[in-house]
Structure 1
Amino acid sequence: MNNWFKQNGIHLAIVGIFFAICFVYFTPAFKGKALGQNDVTRAQSTQKEIMDYRAKDTTILWTNQVLGGMPTFQIWAPYSANITSHIISTIKSIFPNPVDTVLLLLLGSYLLLCVLKLNPWLAAAGAIAFTFSSYNIILLVAGHSNQSFAIAFFAPILAGIILALRGKYLLGAALTAFFLAMEIRANHIQMTYYLMFAIMILVGIELYHAIKGKTTATFFKSIGYLALATLLAIGVNASSLWSTYEYGKDTIRGQSNLTQNTKEPSNGLARDYTYEYSQGVAECLTFLVPNVYGGSSSTTAGEDSKVAKVLIDKGVDPTQAVNFSQQLGLYWGDKPFTEGPNYYGAVIFFLFVLGLIIVKNRIKWWLLGAVLLTVFLSFGKNLPFLSDLFFNYFPLYNKFRAVDSILAVAMLCFPVLAFLAVNEVIATKDKAPLFKKLLIALYITGGICLIILVVPDLFLSFRNSQNQMLTDQLTQIFKGDSGMANTVVNALTQDRISVARSDAFRSLVFVLLAFGLLWAFIKQKINVTVLSVAFLAITLVDLWTIDKRYLKDESFVDKQDVQQPKPRDIDQMIMRDSDPDYRVFDTSQPIKTDAFTPYFHKSISGYSAARLKRFDELIDNQFSKSINQDVLDMLNTKYIITTDPKTQALSMHANETACGHAWFVKNVKYAQTADEEMQAISSFDPANEAIVDNKYSKLIDEKQSALDTTGFIKLVSYSPDHLVYQSGSTTPQIAVFSEIYYDKGWKMMIDDVEKPYFRADYVLRAAQIPVGNHKIDFIFHPASYYTGEKISMASSIILVLVLIGALFLETRKKNFGVPAEAKK
C-alpha cells in the first residue's frame, strides 16, 4: 500500500490541487449558495408537474404542464436501470453545483493528457486550460448543465480510444464503454454528435498509418474492441436512446406534416434556425484576445466610456449620460445574443501555434484536422458552402441548432496540442533549432496582439449589421438630430476599440511570459519541473481572470433567493380551481418560450427544444396571426389571461365555451391531408364536429353513431400518464378527448380491454365508444422505455464486470500507461 502511494503520490497531489482550485473559485457553492442560472430556472417550469409527482414517489413519463402535453423523455426521466444514473446522482449528492461538473472536466482531461504521456504537471496545466476555457464557465453560468456535463466526458472517451488503439485493448475498451455511457447519459446528443467528428478523424489517421505501417490486423483488433465498447455503452442507455429515437420522429426535428403555409423544412430544423448562432470568421480572434468583439451581449459602455463623455460634452446630465451609455452594448458580432467569447487563453494559443510547428507526433494532424473541421462548421451561414454540404447530406446534422457550440471540440484540442508542444521542447535533445521556431510562434501570436493593440481598425470594423438600425433609433431618441446620433455611434465604436486594445495588451503580456519560460528552459535557466509548474500557474491566472468576468462570487445567491416565478393575483385565483386537468392561455407570454405560465398551470405554452411537431404547427397556424378561439376551446382552455394594451394591466376571464375534458360530437368530417385538416380547424365547431384524417375512417362506424343527447363522458381520475373516464350512452358515440395525441405508448382500455383510438382535430385523441356505461382508461406505457430499461439493466451489469476485470488485469501488470513499443 505504501508503495502504491509512493508511485501515485504526484497524481494524488494534483487531484488535491484540483479540489483546492474548485474550493477557492467556487467558495460560495460550498457555503450553500447556488447559481441563479437562467436556463435552470426556465427548466423548472417545464418539470413542475414531473417533480410534484416525484415528491410523491411517483414517476410519470408524460406531462400535461407544458405545450398541451408531451412525453418527459427529454425533460426529466429517472432511467433507474442505467448504472450511470446512479453514478451521476452520487457525484451530484457529494459535490455542490457546479463543482461536480468542473471536477469531472479537470479529472477527465488530466487522464487524457497522462495517456498521451505528458508529465503530471503539464497534464494538470492542460486540464486547467480546458476546464477554465471561458466557454465552459459561461455554460455553467447560463445553466446549460447537460451540455457542460457532456463536454466533461470528451477527454476520457478519447483517452480510452487512444489506449485501445495503442494496444491496451481491454482497458481502453472498458474505459471507452464507461465514459461513453456517461456521455450518452448526460443527454446532450448534440455534443456527443460533435465529438464523433473528432473520433472519425482520429480513426481515419490511425487507419492511414496502419496501412502505411502494415499493422492493419492490430488496428482492426482495436476497432473491434471499441465497437463492442460502443455497443455496450448504447445498451446501458437503451431506454433513453430508444425513447429519444422514437419520440424524435414526432418532434420539431422530425418530418413536417404540412406542405402548405409552413416555413418548416420537410425534415429536420429550418436552415436559418440552425444557423442562427453562427461563429463570425474574424470572431475566432477571441480565442486569443477575449474582448476583441466586445465581450458578452450584456457588456455595455460604462461610466468612463467615450459615449458618456460625448453626451456630457453635449450638455446631458452626467448621471443620465452614464445611465444611457450603459444601455449600449459593446458586442458587435452578428450573433443574436452571446453570454461571452470563446477564449482559450493567450498562453494556450501561443503554444498551439508552436505545436503546429514543432510537434512530430501524428496526434498533431488529428488535432489540427479536428480544429479545422469544427471551426469551419461553426461558421454556419458565414461559410455556407461547407455548412450546407453537411446540413443537406450528413446524417442528423440538420437536427441541431447553435452550430457555434461545435467549438467545444476545438476547445479541447487547443490545450492538448499546446502542451504536446511543451513536451516536445522538453524531449528534444538538440534545442538550438527550437529557438527559431519559438520566435516564429511569437511573431505570429504576438503580431496579432500588436496589430489589435496598435492599429485595431486595420482589419476590423468594430461595427455590425445592426449599426444603421442603432443610428436610426438614436436619431429618433435625439428628436431627429442625426449628427448627434452618429457622434454617439462613433463614440461607441471607440469604446469597442478601447476594450479590444486593453485585452490585446493583456494577451501580449501572457504570450511574452510563455515565450520567456520556454526561452529560459532552452537556455537551461530553469528545469522541467519549474517550467511545468510555471505553465500551470500562468495558464490558471490567464483563464481565471477572464472567467471572473462571467462567473463571480456575486453570481451565487442564497438558495431560497434563486429566482423562481411568484404567482400573481390572477394566478392565485385560477389555482383555486379544483379541476385537475384544464389549460391556461396567457397572452402576455410568448407561446414557445413561456417559462412562467407552466410553473403554475397546465398550459398551451412553454419551452421545449423537443416539442411535438404537430403542436408546433398548430401554434404557427392558429396562433401566430390571430388567436383561434375554436382551438382554445378544443384544448379545454378554461382560463385566458390578457393584457390591456393601454395600461398593460393583466386580467383573466373564464372561457365559457371550453369543451371540457371529453365530449361526444354529432358528426365527423374527413380530411385527405394534414393541410386540409389544419385548414378545417381554422373555423369549425369543436363541440359538435370532429375533423379526422381519412386514414382513420376504418375505426369509425358512423351509421351507428347517432348523437345521444342524454349521453355523457367525464374525467373521474387524473394522473398525467393514466386518465380514467366514465361514459354512458344509449347509442355508440364518437368521443373527443382534450388530450394530445401520441401513438407511441398511449393505450386506450375500455372496461380493461384494449381498443383502438385515433387522432382528431389535428392534435387530439378520439375514439368510438360503444353503447352502455363504460370505464375508459388512457395509459401511457411506452415499450421503448420499459423494455429499454431491461436492456439497460443487463448492459449495466456487463459494464461493471468488464470494468472490474480490466482494472484487475491492469493492476496485476502494474502498468497503466501506453506500452513502450507502441509509442510513436
Structure 2
Amino acid sequence: MGALKNDREAMAMKSSLTSAFYIAVAAGLIWAFVTDKINKSILIGGIGLFVMIDLVSVASNYLNEDNYVEESEHQALFSPRPVDQQILQDKDPYYRVLDATRNTYNDAIQAYWHKSIGGYSPAKMEIYQDLIDMHMGGAQSQGHFNTQVLNMLNTKYIIFPGPQEQAVFQPNPGANGNAWFVDEVKLVKSADEEMLAMKAPALGDTAMPAGGAWDSRKTAVMRDNIAKDLNVYQFGKDSASAIRLTRYGLNDLSFVSNNSKNGLAVFSDIWYPFGWEATIDGKPAEILKANYVLRALKVPAGQHTIEFHFRPSSFLVGDTIALIASIVLILVLAASIWFMMKRNDREVASG
C-alpha cells in the first residue's frame, strides 16, 4: 500500500511540474508579445507547438504500440454468436438476459448485444451488489440464481453452455415484464429481513425453501419505514389490469396503466433516489422502494400515463455553470478581438 501511495505521489508531482512548465512557457510568450518583443505569428506558433507536444506526450501514455490491436482482432470480440442473433430477433426494446457462458459480473462483452443482469462496472450500486451476493450467484447464494429475482428483473432469456461448448438459450416464461400490479405487500423491519423474505427456488431446482417460496408477481417486499401509509392504502387488481411500456430511453420511460382498482405497481428498474422523478398523468408521484432494489408507485384506479425522468440536480447545476462559463468566454474573446482591432487602428493612425 505504501508503494502504491508513493507511485501516486510521484505521478502527481510529475504532472504538476509539467503543467507548471507549460504555464510558464505560455505566460512568457504572452509577456513577450505584450511587450512587443515577438510578433503575433511567433506567439500563436509557439503556443500551438507546446500544445501539440503536450497532447502527444499525454496521448502516448494511453495509446502506444503496447496496446495496439488489429482492427479485425478487435471487431472479432464483438461479433454476435448464433445465440445472440436468435435472441435479437425479439423486437421488444426492454428486457434482460442472463449469460451463464461468461463471467456474469466481470465480463462486459455480453452488454454489447443485450441488456444484461450482469456485466462489469466499477460504479456498481451497493444495493445491486447485495442482491448479487444473496440471490444471483454471489458468495452467499453459493452460485445459485433465485428464479423469482430473475423474474422481477425481467430476465427474458437465459444463455447457457450447450453441446460441443456451443452457447444455446432458453426463454424464461416466468419473467414479470417491465411492470406489474401486485396483490399484497409484505412489510419488514430491516434490510436483512427484506432479503430473507425474497427466498425462492434456485434456477434449475424445484425444491421449495423452508417456510415457502416468495412470488415476486404477487407480493412486494417493502421496509415498513419506507411504506408507512401502505397499511391504510387499499389496493388490488382485476383480471384485466396491466401496465404496458410505451417508450424506452436511458433517461425517460413511459407506461400506460389500466386497473379498475387502486393499485400498487412494481417496476423492473433499479431504485435510485438521486435524480429519478415520476409522474402520473403529469402530476408528481412518490417513488417507493420495493424488493430491495426496485421501484414502486401507488397508481389510482383507471387508465393513466406513468412517466419516469432522470433529472439529477447536479447535472442541471453543472449545465448552468457550463453555459455561464461559455458565455463569459465568448464575451472575453469578443472583447479581446475588439481591443486588438482598436490597437491596430491606433497604430495605423499614428504610423
Q: What TM-score, normalized by structure 1, do the two folds share?
A: 0.32
Q: In structure 2, what is the Cα distance between the partners aligned to 1:415 and 1:717?
A: 49
User: Does 2:158 correspond to 1:628?
Assistant: no
The 3-state SS of whatever aligns with 1:707 is coil
Q: In structure 2, what is the Cα distance between the partners aligned to 1:570 and 1:414?
A: 53
Matches within 5 A, 1:670-749: 670-683=187-200, 684-700=214-230, 703-749=233-279
**2:87 corresponds to:** 574
Residue pair 1:642, 1:651 contacting (<8 A) in 2 also: yes
Once the two structures are TM-superposed, the CA of residue 614 in structure 1 deviates from its matched residue by 1.3
Query: Cα deviations across residues 586-614 of structure 1 (Å, max 9, x unaligned)?
Result: 11222332221110011111222212221
Q: In structure 1, what is the Cα distance between the partners aligned to 2:19 and 2:217?
A: 64
Once the two structures are TM-superposed, the CA of residue 621 in structure 1 deviates from its matched residue by 2.1
Residue pair 1:708, 1:733 contacting (<8 A) in 2 also: no
**1:97 corresponds to:** none
Once the two structures are TM-superposed, the CA of residue 641 in structure 1 deviates from its matched residue by 0.9
The 3-state SS of whatever aligns with 2:228 is helix
User: Does 2:318 correspond to 1:788?
Assistant: yes
Letter in structure 1 aligned against 2:197? A
**2:168 corresponds to:** 651
**2:159 corresponds to:** 641
**1:324 corresponds to:** none
Q: In structure 1, what is the Cα distance between the partners aligned to 2:76 and 2:85?
A: 19
Query: Cα deviations across residues 759-787 of structure 1 (Å, max 9, x unaligned)?
Result: 10111111111111112112222232234
The 3-state SS of whatever aligns with 2:192 is helix
Q: In structure 2, what is the Cα distance between the partners aligned to 1:780 and 1:604?
A: 20
Of the candidates 574, 584, 587, which is equivalent to residue 100 of structure 2? Answer: 587
Matches within 5 A, 1:174-573: 279=3, 377-378=5-6, 404-412=7-15, 551-552=64-65, 555=68, 557-558=70-71, 562=75, 564-573=77-86
Q: In structure 1, what is the Cα distance between the partners aligned to 2:238 and 2:308?
A: 23
Structure 2 vs 1, CA of residues 562 and 407 (structure 1 numbering), >3 Å: closer, same or farther? Answer: farther
Letter in structure 2 aligned against 1:633? N
Residue pair 1:584, 1:604 contacting (<8 A) in 2 also: yes
The 3-state SS of whatever aligns with 1:579 is coil
Q: In structure 1, what is the Cα distance between the partners aligned to 2:9 and 2:292?
A: 36
Q: In structure 2, what is the Cα distance between the partners aligned to 1:726 and 1:557?
A: 48
Once the two structures are TM-superposed, the CA of residue 805 in structure 1 deviates from its matched residue by 7.3
Of the candidates 109, 113, 127, which is equivalent to residue 596 of structure 1? Answer: 109
Residue pair 1:699, 1:756 contacting (<8 A) in 2 also: no
Letter in structure 1 aligned against 2:129? D
Residue pair 1:582, 1:636 contacting (<8 A) in 2 also: yes
**2:306 corresponds to:** 776
Q: In structure 2, what is the Cα distance between the partners aligned to 1:414 and 1:697?
A: 55
Q: In structure 1, what is the Cα distance between the partners aligned to 2:232 and 2:264?
A: 8
Structure 2 vs 1, CA of residues 806 and 618 (structure 1 numbering), >3 Å: closer, same or farther? Answer: farther
Q: In structure 2, what is the Cα distance between the partners aligned to 1:765 and 1:554?
A: 42
Structure 2 vs 1, CA of residues 406 and 572 (structure 1 numbering), >3 Å: closer, same or farther? Answer: farther
Query: Cα deviations across residues 221-258 of structure 1 (Å, max 9, x unaligned)?
Result: xxxxxxxxxxxxxxxxxxxxxxxxxxxxxxxxxxxxxx
Matches within 5 A, 1:43-192: none
Structure 2 vs 1, CA of residues 733 and 568 (structure 1 numbering), >3 Å: closer, same or farther? Answer: same
**Unpaired segments of 5 or more residues in structure 2?**
21-56, 201-213, 340-351
Letter in structure 2 aligned against 1:607? Y
The 3-state SS of whatever aligns with 1:792 is helix
**Unpaired segments of 5 or more residues in structure 1?**
1-274, 281-376, 379-403, 418-543, 810-824
Structure 2 vs 1, CA of residues 407 and 610 (structure 1 numbering), >3 Å: closer, same or farther? Answer: farther
Q: In structure 1, what is the Cα distance between the partners aligned to 2:261 and 2:106?
A: 44
Q: How many residues align?
A: 288
Q: In structure 2, what is the Cα distance between the partners aligned to 1:628 and 1:789?
A: 42
Q: In structure 1, what is the Cα distance between the partners aligned to 2:99 and 2:19?
A: 50
Structure 2 vs 1, CA of residues 413 and 771 (structure 1 numbering), >3 Å: closer, same or farther? Answer: closer
Structure 2 vs 1, CA of residues 406 and 620 (structure 1 numbering), >3 Å: closer, same or farther? Answer: farther
Letter in structure 2 aligned against 1:571? D
Once the two structures are TM-superposed, the CA of residue 677 in structure 1 deviates from its matched residue by 1.6
Q: In structure 1, what is the Cα distance between the partners aligned to 2:66 and 2:131?
A: 44
Q: Which structure is higher in helix share?
A: 1
Q: In structure 2, what is the Cα distance between the partners aligned to 1:769 and 1:554?
A: 53
Q: In structure 2, what is the Cα distance between the partners aligned to 1:641 and 1:665?
A: 29
Q: In structure 2, what is the Cα distance between the partners aligned to 1:776 and 1:586?
A: 31
Q: In structure 1, what is the Cα distance between the partners aligned to 2:168 and 2:71?
A: 33
Residue pair 2:227, 2:288 contacting (<8 A) in 1 also: no
Residue pair 1:635, 1:738 contacting (<8 A) in 2 also: yes
The 3-state SS of whatever aligns with 2:165 is coil
**1:665 corresponds to:** 182
Query: Cα deviations across residues 676-713 of structure 1 (Å, max 9, x unaligned)?
Result: 22222233210110011212223535552133233222
Q: Which structure is higher in strand share?
A: 2
Q: In structure 2, what is the Cα distance between the partners aligned to 1:741 and 1:621?
A: 18
Residue pair 1:700, 1:768 contacting (<8 A) in 2 also: no
Query: Cα deviations across residues 49-80 of structure 1 (Å, max 9, x unaligned)?
Result: xxxxxxxxxxxxxxxxxxxxxxxxxxxxxxxx
Letter in structure 2 aligned against 1:794? I
**2:344 corresponds to:** none
**2:122 corresponds to:** 609
Of the candidates 280, 283, 287, which is equivalent to residue 750 of structure 1? Answer: 280
Structure 2 vs 1, CA of residues 556 and 580 (structure 1 numbering), >3 Å: closer, same or farther? Answer: closer
Q: In structure 2, what is the Cα distance between the partners aligned to 1:806 and 1:613?
A: 50
Structure 2 vs 1, CA of residues 412 and 643 (structure 1 numbering), >3 Å: closer, same or farther? Answer: same
